[in-house]
A and B are shown apart, each in its own frame.
Chain A
Amino acid sequence: MERDDLIEYSLHNHHDEATGKSIRKKIVQVTVLLTIITTVEVFLGALIKQSSDAWAYVKWSFIVMTLVKAAYIVMVFMHLGDEKKALRNVILIPYAIFIAYLIFIGLWEATEVAAAWKSFGF
């Protein structure tokens, strides 16, 4: 039975060849960017030792580069950037809040546990 109270959004997702061309161009650009970032990460990881003074900077640059890569994958490859703003927020904001809290509590507790082991032994 046809329902007239629903809109079939999947039917409205088509685009023409010209749009497709610009989308493909963007895909290629993002691919090149992701490859470059990964190459830089591997070179940094292989060349700079964890014992060196520069390691703290390298570590944070890894985290930043990872977030940049993740943002491009989610926004371009998964098309979240093209969705409605409400949908984007519903997906990203609760996740971000929860994970920020979990990271904080995880590392904080680990520091305390490590200190306790040091003072009281195993």
Chain B
Amino acid sequence: MAGHTTQLDAKTLWGGKESPFQTSYGKLMMWFFLVSDALTFSGLLIAYGFTRHDAQDAWPIGEETFNSMPFLGHGYPLLYVALMTFILIVSSVTMVLAVEAGHRMDRKGVTKWMIATIIGGFFFVGSQAWEWSHFIHGSEFGKIELADGSQAIVKGHFGEIKNFTVIEAGKHHKVGEVMKDDLMHAFQHAAEKGHLEGGNIHFADGTVAKINKAKDHEMKLIIKKSGSKNVIGGKAITGAAAEKLYYEALYSGEANRVVYGANMKQNEYGPQQYAQFFFFITGFHGFHVFSGVVINIIILLGVLGGTYHKRGHYEMVEKTGLYWHFVDLVWVFVFTFFYLI
């Protein structure tokens, strides 16, 4: 269109009065911030997808990894995460109701729904703390490396450890002494170090004790890394065969045959990166929820103090609402791509 000049008049040229988006500066900037934050989360989830896609070992499956409920034990696949999702959706709903009340200048309504939103936020952050703690401590069986070099995760009911009876005296214990404290912790610690040789627990002070343990039930080994005999995707090993393989490895006296829970170096669920992504993505999201709760509290104080009422509008509630819904939005994606698929 060289040489062509366009007629500029008040209609085509923005004169500065009416803005093209017909929205306030603050709201627009909140949207731009959310787009950039959305790009960050997308980047993280796509990095997760990349790592999972090129992983050589079997990737953990959500319903096998996350199947516990507080006070109820395990066997409830995905239920806890579903509950967390529901809590966050409900708190998003109370937030949108607060925004709606703000548009009617209903201060009481805004206060009520803001308080409900903050409570929901605290519930979510608390749930995530439980989830992290559970993830870090891991299951009672852990992940085991079997005799053929394959690795398996273990499902079933762990028989309770009743006590340790000392059979060889050490520096601090006499023969015949019965230990009853901190059994599970001592058992797992010794298992990692390979100090459970032959079904007896060997302590650092030279004490050897016999482990009195109830029988496990419904044990099932799911192979996650192929060995010379057991391969990924093969039939799960169950019952007596599973118990034999598991305890053969656990009582082998070799260190590092079993992994409990998760840390930054290894985890019982799958490849090392799995736990790292879990910590980073859910941690980053949890940090957003936490800051959201803090911001909501600050805005609630403004509502209670009448700041926004005097101003003539409750747009601050709307803007924090945008942030809060965004946090819910991110969780919808984390829930699908981290837990479901």
Question: Which A residues have a C-beta under 8 Å from some C-beta of B?
Answer: 5-11, 13-17, 20, 23-24, 27, 31, 34-35, 38-39, 41-42, 45-46, 50-51, 59, 62-63, 65-66, 69-70, 73-74, 76-79, 83-84, 86-87, 90-91, 94-95, 98-99, 102-103, 106-107, 109-111, 113-114, 117-118
Question: In B42-60, which residues have CB < 8 Å from any A CB?
Answer: 42-43, 46-47, 49-56
Instruction: Using C-beta atoms within 8 Å of the partner chain, give the interface range for chain B.
Output: 35 or more
Q: How far is the CA of A63 from the CA of B89 in the complex (A)?
A: 18
Majority-rule SS of A interface residues:
helix
Asked if B167 is an interface residue, CB under 8 A from chain A, the answer is no
A114-B53 in contact given A5-B16, A20-B103 (Cβ < 8 Å): yes
Question: In B288-341, which residues have CB < 8 Å from any A CB?
Answer: 312-313, 315, 318, 321-322, 325-326, 328-329, 332-333, 335-336, 339-341
Asked if B184 is an interface residue, CB under 8 A from chain A, the answer is no
B24, B28, B49: residue with the most chain A Cβ atoms closer than 10 Å:
B24
Cβ contact within 8 Å between A78 and B89: no
Cβ contact within 8 Å between B20 and A84: yes
Cβ contact within 8 Å between B325 and A73: yes
Q: How far is the CA of A34 from the CA of B329 in the complex (A)?
A: 11
Question: In B85-101, which residues have CB < 8 Å from any A CB?
Answer: 85-86, 89-90, 92-93, 95-97, 99-101
**Nearest chain A CB to B303's CB is how many angstroms away?**
15
Other-chain residue from B31, B93, B315, B332 in contact with A91 (beta carbon distance below 8 A): B31
Cβ contact within 8 Å between A77 and B325: yes
Cβ contact within 8 Å between B46 and A106: yes
Cβ contact within 8 Å between B325 and A114: no
Cβ contact within 8 Å between B86 and A35: yes
Cβ contact within 8 Å between B39 and A7: no
A66-B333 in contact given A14-B103, A16-B104, A27-B96 (Cβ < 8 Å): yes
Choose the segment among B76-84, B152-160, B277-285 that binds chain A (4+ C-beta atoms closer than 8 Å): B76-84
A11-B325 in contact given A24-B100, A45-B340, A84-B23 (Cβ < 8 Å): no
Cβ contact within 8 Å between A103 and B46: yes
**Nearest chain A CB to B232's CB is how many angstroms away?**
10
Asked if B21 is an interface residue, CB under 8 A from chain A, the answer is yes
Other-chain residue from B22, B100, B321, B325 in contact with A84 (beta carbon distance below 8 A): B22
Cβ contact within 8 Å between A87 and B31: yes
